[in-house]
Chains A and B, each alone.
Chain A
Amino acid sequence: MVHQLPSWAGLAPALALAVTALVLLLIDSVDPDTTNTSLLGGVSVVGSLASLAFAVWFIFGGTGIPTSEGGVGTPVLFNGQLVVDQMALFFMIIVASVTALVTLASTDYVREHAYQAEFYALVLLAATGMSVLSAANSLATAFVALELVSLPSYALVAFLKKNRGSVEAGLKYFLIGAVSSAVFAYGISLVYAATGVLRFDGIATAIESGTVQTIVDGTVQAQSGSPAVPMSILGVGIMMVIGGVAFKIAAVPFHFWAPEAYEGAPAPISAFLSSASKAAGFVLAFRTFAVAFPIGALVSSGEALNWFVVFQVLAIATMFIGNFAAATQEKVKRMMAYSSVGHAGYILIGLAALSASGDGMAFSMSAGMAHLLVYGFMNTGAFLFIALAEYWGVGRRFEDYNGLGRQAPLACAAMTIFLFSLAGLPIGGGFFSKFYLFSATLDVGAWSLAAALVINSALSLFYYSRVVKAMWIEEPTGDRSIESYPTGLYTAIVSAAVVTVLLVPGFDYVSSLAFRAVELL
Chain B
Amino acid sequence: MWVAALLAVTLFGSAAVMLSPDRYAGKLAAAVSAVPALASVYMYYVFLTQNGGAGNALLSPGEVAFGQQIPWIDLAGYQIAYYVGLDGVSMPLLALTTILTTLAIVSAWTPIDERQSQFYGLMLFMETSLIGVFAALDFFLWFVFWEGVLIPMYFLIGVWGGPRRKYAAIKFFVYTNVASLVMFAGLFALVFNTDLTSLALPAMAEAFRNASGLPTIAGFSLATISFVLMFFGFAVKVPVFPLHTWLPDAHVEAPTPVSVMLAGVLLKMGTYALLRFNFTMLAETAQALAVPLAIVGVVSVIYGAMLALAQRDLKRIVAYSSISSMGYVILGLVAFTPHGMGGATFQMVAHGLISGLMFMTVGVIYNTTHTRMVGDMSGLADRMPWTVGIFVAAAFGYMGLPLMAGFAGEFLIFQGAFDAATLGSAAPVLTSLAMFGIVVVAGYLLWAMQRTLFGGFSLETDYEVGPAAFHDVAPLAVLLLLVIALGVAPDLSYDMIQHAITPLTGGGA
| B-binding residues in A (CB < 8 A) | 362-363, 366-367, 406, 420, 425-427, 431-432, 435-436, 438-440, 442-443, 445, 450-451, 454, 457-458, 461-462, 465, 468-469, 472-474, 504-505, 507-508, 511-512, 515
Contact = CB atoms under 8 A, between A and B. Distances in A.
Given A362-B76, A435-B140, A442-B192, 16 more contacts: A420-B151, A425-B150, A425-B177, A427-B148, A438-B188, A451-B185, A454-B182, A454-B185, A458-B181, A462-B174, A465-B170, A472-B159, A473-B165, A508-B73, A511-B73, A511-B75
Interface centre among A438, A440, A461, A515 (most CB of B within 10 A): A461
Contacts, number: 87
Contacts of B185: 450-451, 454
B358 to A, nearest CB: 27
A333 to B, nearest CB: 22
B147 A431 contact: yes
Interface in B130-164: 140, 143-144, 147-148, 150-151, 154-155, 158-159
Nearest to B160: A473
A507 B144 contact: no
Contacts of B147: 425-426, 431
Given A426-B147, A473-B159, A507 B73 contact: yes
B178 A473 contact: no
Chain A: interface secondary structure? Answer: helix
Interface of B: 72-76, 78, 115, 140, 143-144, 147-148, 150-151, 154-155, 158-159, 165-166, 169-170, 173-174, 177-178, 181-182, 184-185, 188-189, 191-192
A427 B154 CA distance: 14
B166 A469 contact: yes
Contacts of B72: 505, 508
Contacts of B155: 472-473
Contacts of A515: 76
A10 B188 CA distance: 41
A246 B192 CA distance: 31
Shortest beta-carbon contacts, A-B, top 9: A426-B144, A508-B73, A473-B158, A442-B192, A363-B76, A458-B178, A454-B181, A426-B147, A425-B147
Contacts of A454: 181-182, 184-185
29 contacts: A363-B76, A366-B76, A367-B76, A420-B151, A426-B147, A426-B148, A431-B147, A432-B75, A435-B75, A438-B184, A439-B78, A439-B192, A442-B189, A442-B191, A443-B76, A443-B192, A457-B181, A458-B178, A458-B181, A461-B177, A462-B174, A469-B158, A472-B155, A472-B159, A473-B159, A473-B165, A473-B169, A474-B166, A511-B76
B75, B169, B170 interface centre (most CB from chain A within 10 Å): B75
Nearest to A425: B147
A504 B144 contact: yes
Contacts of B181: 454, 457-458
A472 B166 CA distance: 11
Nearest to A457: B181
Given A427-B151, A472-B159, A461 B73 contact: no
Contacts of B144: 426, 431, 504
A450 B165 CA distance: 33
A461 B174 contact: yes
B192 to A, nearest CB: 4
A492 to B, nearest CB: 22
A465 B74 contact: no
Contacts of B170: 462, 465, 469
A272 B355 CA distance: 51
Contacts of A439: 75-76, 78, 188, 192
A445 B76 CA distance: 16
A360 B174 CA distance: 32
Nearest to A461: B177
Contacts of A426: 143-144, 147-148
Contact of A512 (B74, B158, B191): B74
Contacts of A425: 147-148, 150-151, 177
A149 B159 CA distance: 44
Contact of A508 (B74, B115, B178): B74
A458 to B, nearest CB: 5
A361 to B, nearest CB: 11
Nearest to B188: A442
A82 B166 CA distance: 54
A461 B166 CA distance: 15
B73 A472 contact: no
Contacts of A363: 76
B151 A472 contact: no
A363 B155 CA distance: 36
**A366, A420, A469, A515: residue with the most chain B Cβ atoms closer than 10 Å:** A469
A86 to B, nearest CB: 16
A402 to B, nearest CB: 12
Contacts of B177: 425, 458, 461
Contacts of A436: 75-76
A465 B154 contact: yes
A474 B166 CA distance: 8
B166 A473 contact: yes
Nearest to A363: B76
A222 B365 CA distance: 89
B372 to A, nearest CB: 23
Nearest to A420: B151
Nearest to A510: B73
A442 B189 CA distance: 7
Nearest to B115: A406
Nearest to A417: B151
